[in-house]
Structure 1
Amino acid sequence: MRTPLRAAATLAAVAALVTGCSSGDDWSQPHPKPTPIGTLGPGFLAPSATPAPESTVTPSPGSWSEVRPSEDYRVVLLTSGDDRPTKALVKAVEDWAEKEHVDLRTVAADGPHDLIPSITRARELGPDLIVSAGNDLIDPLATVTPNHLEQRFLVVGAELAEPTHNVTAVDWSGASFRGEGLGASSTYDPASFTAERCAAAIRAGVAAVLNDLTGIVIWLDRH
């Protein structure tokens, strides 16, 4: 017979699995605004440059490496698909979150019918940032993100054709999926989603967001 104490412990464990909580923190509680720890290095942007909305910047390799988020940065990893590029991006985000002690939760879309609902679930968690991995999410994000300008999004390994100021992307010529019927470019190459490049993508993207460099595309072909 299950004791009340054991039953309570079981319910707590199930709740943790459902929410995907990494630290046990209640995200509904007040949370300080995230700040960058460290500074962007020379070459991330041209001196005194402020990138225009929807513009593309090509930072010097490693110019983002000294920037990390402040404690308890709340991130939702939004993902769809089990192809090799998506798996590589997911692992890079998970590895980054573990190393930087990020409070990471994951929302995975359960097929095409669940793409927009999965974005809603991610947003309703109230994260500091939603990181998207998987080409299937691009068109749904283009639909949802303009209606929720207060929520910051980071797309890794793809980009939106016309991003609003709350959407930042990290891309390269081997990725370059833009949705809206444009599909993948002729240079699309799944082999370009290396562990090194995917790790650079999440770090460069987060460094930009933490420094309020949003609504742009960060191009990693120099990496």
Structure 2
Amino acid sequence: MASLGAVVLGLVLLAGCSATDSWAEPHAAPAPLGALGDGFLPSATPSPEATINPAPESWTGVHPSPGFRVVLLTAGDDEPTRALLTAVNDWAAAENVELRTVHADVDPITSIVRAIDMKPDLVISAGNDLVDPLATVTASHLDQLFLIVGAEVAEPTHNVTAVDWTGASFRGEGLGASSDYDPSSFTPSRTAAAVRAGAAAVLHDVTGIVIWIP
């Protein structure tokens, strides 16, 4: 019969194995499954910081490869932010995305850095309160891809992609919300489309731009 000490040691080892962080394991570079549809991209390659107007649903054929790792970075409890959280979580569940959430209400800068340190394939930002902190941090972490949904930084670097629509497009840096900002425009269908359109662009290396959806 095994001694009590051996049993305890075995339990400790099992606990150590179960606590292993799967994201610390080697991870293949993500690849898109499916192609961007006709009309997603303009005839000419978009320049940095350009705004493109994809044809409706031209992003629906693109899916992330298995094991796609995403950190959802969020701040605020307003209705638009809650709508975006629902859209990201629903997309992640439908696509079998490995999703982790970082709440950044207390210390946004530190929270953004923590999200980056998790080494996800993509950081998705939800909440206008994150725009100014993201503008501060993203330019210093060019190897990390970011997707901002329902808002945008004023001068995005190539690693920052945004999805906006009429009624959204908060820009921060003292610019605040646009004159047509409308919280009711953050509908389930629009926020879902925004997440999918932005992810499709990032997966196909179409980054550093603003994607404007209907």
TM-score, normalised relative to structure 1: 0.87
- Whole-angstrom distance in 2 between the partners of 1:67 and 1:116: 31
Pairwise CA distance, 1:110: 3.3
Runs of 4 or more, structure 1, over 4 Å off, are none
Pairwise CA distance, 1:35: 0.5
Pairwise CA distance, 1:76: 0.2
Secondary structure of the corresponding residue to residue 76 of structure 1: strand
Whether 1:34 aligns to 2:30 is: yes
Counterpart of 1:122 in structure 2 is 115
Pairwise CA distance, 1:176: 1.1
Whether 1:94 aligns to 2:81 is: no
Larger radius of gyration: 2
Maintained 8 Å contact 2:102/2:115 = yes
Counterpart of 1:19 in structure 2 is none
- Whole-angstrom distance in 2 between the partners of 1:186 and 1:42: 32
Q: Which amino acid counterpart does residue 53 of structure 1 have in structure 2?
A: P
- 1:55-134 mapped onto 2 (5 Å cutoff): 55-111=50-106, 114-134=107-127
Pairwise CA distance, 1:25: 5.7
What's the Cα RMSD here? 1.9
- 1:1-223 mapped onto 2 (5 Å cutoff): 26-47=22-43, 49-111=44-106, 114-221=107-214
Q: 1:39 to 1:25 in 2, by over 3 A?
A: farther
Secondary structure of the corresponding residue to residue 131 of structure 1: strand
**Sequence identity, in percent?**
65
User: What is the total number of aligned residue pairs between the two structures?
Assistant: 205
Q: 1:123 to 1:187 in 2, by over 3 A?
A: same
- Whole-angstrom distance in 2 between the partners of 1:82 and 1:153: 21
TM-score, normalised relative to structure 2: 0.91
Secondary structure of the corresponding residue to residue 203 of structure 1: helix
Cα deviations by residue, 1:148-169 (Å, 9 ceiling, x for unpaired): 0000000000000000000000
Maintained 8 Å contact 2:46/2:52 = yes
